[in-house]
Amino acid sequence: MNEEILTPVLDWLDLAGVAIFALTGALVATKERQTFVTLAFFALVTGVGGGTVRDLLIGAPVFWITDPWVAAICLGVALFAWFTPTRWWEGKFLSIADGAGLAAYAVLGTAKALQYGVPPIPSVLMGVITGTVGGMLRDVLAGRPSILMRPELYVTAAALSASLTVAGTLAGIMNWWTWIAAALAGFALRLAAILLNLALPAYHERGQKAD
């Protein structure tokens, strides 16, 4: 990544987000009993999807094209998923791992947009896009209902992390503390949504009662 613009902390956060999202993509492919090539493809698309859209929108070099580690990490994660039993990943692990990647990527996307001179509100949107697009692509390719079409808190968690990143930056709080607090807050909200089934109210036509 561009070391003149991004700090090493963001570099590591980026790689961590890539690895987590790549794992969720690979695990979806394993559950569908796909080939290793498909696992690797799902890992790459899920790992870099959101960051790619973000970089194209803010005019930055597409991060995984210029960073030799990203594609290698996605391939390594796919290999890891290929050689591990599927029972390791049963239950809510996939959702929790996706939530961790969501929060980390939302912080990264927002911080990178701010570093490139994007105004605060669009920077929040860049954080949300960075955190959610990879999972959306994964679900569409797998033929699964997108997480965005369910009422549980998902985009809201990304928006929380992104908003706190902007707020901390504007307040002049040290970047490290801002990024850590923002990532933890978004992950905590997503984890609560998973464990407690928290959701936003759904739209209903005026004059009609909810079912």
- Please tell me the least confidently modeled range out of 14-28, 97-111, 194-208: 194-208
pLDDT digits (tens, 9 = 90+) for 176-187: 889 889 999 999
Phi, psi of 185, deg, nearest 5 = -65, -45
pLDDT of residue 44: 93
pTM, two decimals, is: 0.84
Mean pLDDT of 68-86: 89
pLDDT, average across residues 70-91: 86
Mean of pLDDT values over 81-100: 81
Cβ-based neighbours of 23, under 8 Å, separated by 6 or more: 43, 77, 80, 81, 97
Instruction: Give the DSSP letter string of 124-180.
Output: HHHHHHHHHHHHHHHHHHHTPPPGGGSSBSSHHHHHHHHHHHHHHHHTT--HHHHHH
Is residue 64 pLDDT above 60, yes or no?
yes
Say which residue, 77 or 88, is predicted with more confidence: 77
Answer yes or no: is pLDDT of 165 > 90: yes
Angstrom distance (rounded) from CA 19 to CA 89: 15
